[in-house]
Amino acid sequence: MSEITDRYRRRADEFERKIAAVRPDQWSNPSPCARWTARDVVGHIIDMHAAMLRPLGRELSPAPSLDDDPLAAFRAARADVQAVLDDPALATRECDTPSGRVTAERHIDQVVSEDLPLHGWDLARATSQDDTIDPEDVERAWAAMRALPADLMEKFRTPGAFGPDVEVFGPEVKVAEDASPQDRLLAFIGRDPAWRP
């Protein structure tokens, strides 16, 4: 198992646990992502799984709908991405992505795998679960964010730069100088670490 595959599986397991813990009456709860409910957060993650498959000419397998069964919908999407990572020919195939030409596994690692802990926080906060992000994931994400060129970070913060209604990061939120690494990361990408539903 490659490091990328292991990392994706660990993060997807954690996100799946959070979905499984959501009570039926919590799916319409607001989330830290403006205009998104808890269900919308899961829908976004499923959509991002589909986006990982498109450069390979693949699409998500038929699955229960997000409205009917968010957990089953996510499990089906993650199985499709896991199948790519588990197939060396597919995982190492180069494809054109918004970040340039990279292997499919690198694209998955840099996009949807990185999204899982951050949106896991959104889902956990929306549904009153433990929202602690794995410190290793915080450290990796913080290093990646700080390494982004200023012009690319500006693009990430510009609504619509990657398509209609697509907003990657919000404006940076101010936090105390002694804020935890997790809170600094969340604030950097435009989340208010103190947000509550």
Read off the pLDDT of residues 41-92 as tens digits, 9 standing for 90 and up: 999 999 999 999 999 999 999 999 999 999 999 999 999 999 999 999 999 9
Rounded CA Rg of the chain? 16
Residue 91 contacts by C-beta under 8 Å, 6 or more apart in sequence? 2, 4, 5, 84, 85, 103, 104, 105
Q: Output the six-digit token pair for 30.
A: 């607001």
Cα separation, 14 vs 137, in Å, equals 12
Domain-by-domain residue ranges, the chain?
A: 1-131, 133-197
Assigned architecture for domain 1-131: Up-down Bundle (1.20)
Q: How far apart are alpha carbons 151 and 157 in whole angstroms?
A: 10
Per-residue pLDDT tens for 13-35?
A: 999 999 999 999 999 999 999 88
For all residues of the chain together, what is the average pLDDT?
92
**pLDDT given at position 149:** 81
The answer on pLDDT for 1 being more than 80 is: no
32, 192 contact by CB (below 8 A) = yes
Q: Please give the helix or strand (H or E) that residue 51 lies within, else none.
A: helix 38-53
